[in-house]
Amino acid sequence: MRRLPLLAAAGLLLGAAGLLLGAGAARAQDCLQVMAGDPRLSSFVEALNRTGQAELLHGSGPFTILAPDNGAIARVPVNIRDDLMGSQPGADVDPVRGPAVVNAQMIDGRHMAREVEGRDRVTVRTRNGNMLLIQRGADGQYTLVPERGGFGAGGIRQVEPAHVVQADIPCSNGVVHIVDRVLVR
């Protein structure tokens, strides 16, 4: 059996360690990559891309994304859906309202579900400037409701409370919580 010189063997070990470390780094996905890999969020990912906000989520963050599932996007009024997706394939999105709707689903910082446990109400500010009330109901389940004022996308209609479908999905630059409603009026 042929022996490798000590320096060559050390080089091989360092190279193997680098491959292992590189493999771990390659698995760390940013928030956009995590959401793009979940078919329940395909409409929201499309909205992020169409409004130009997807690039933000490749940044360092950290971000908390309250990602509406496909059913939530399908339930919003047509005017909001048109702002996000355009009225037909290839149509332009509203350059102000589209990003504002998407930013109503984002909070700066990494906020895990455990931060609100045991508290009856918490208010946070979304990236579009709206205040979002997180309130615990009698059943112990938390609801998310945009408070009055701030950005509204379609008038004064009552907003159905959103509920978290799946919490604390980690990503390299934040956390994603899947919700069942879009958080604008």
pLDDT tens digits for range 63-97: 999 999 999 988 887 777 776 666 666 667 778 88
**CATH fold label, 29-179:** FAS1 domain (2.30.180)
Strands 63-68 and 174-179: parallel
Query: C-alpha angle with apex 27: 31 to 65, nearest 5 degrees?
Result: 10
- Joined together, the tokens standing for residue 142 give 């938390």
DSSP alpha helix (H) spans, the chain: 6-27, 31-36, 42-51, 70-75, 78-85, 97-103
pLDDT value at position 97?
81
pLDDT value at position 113?
87
pLDDT value at position 84?
67
| Residue 67, SS3 per DSSP | strand
Q: Which helix (H) or strand (E) holds 142?
A: strand 142-146
The ranges of the chain with pLDDT < 70 are 1-27, 83-91, 148-159, 185
For a pLDDT cut of 90, what percent of the chain falls above it? 34
DSSP alpha helix (H) spans, 52-157: 70-75, 78-85, 97-103
CA distance 56 to 44: 14
CA distance 180 to 43: 13
pLDDT value at position 89?
64
End-to-end CA distance of the chain: 74
Phi, psi (deg, nearest 5) at residue 82 = -65, -35
pLDDT value at position 88?
64
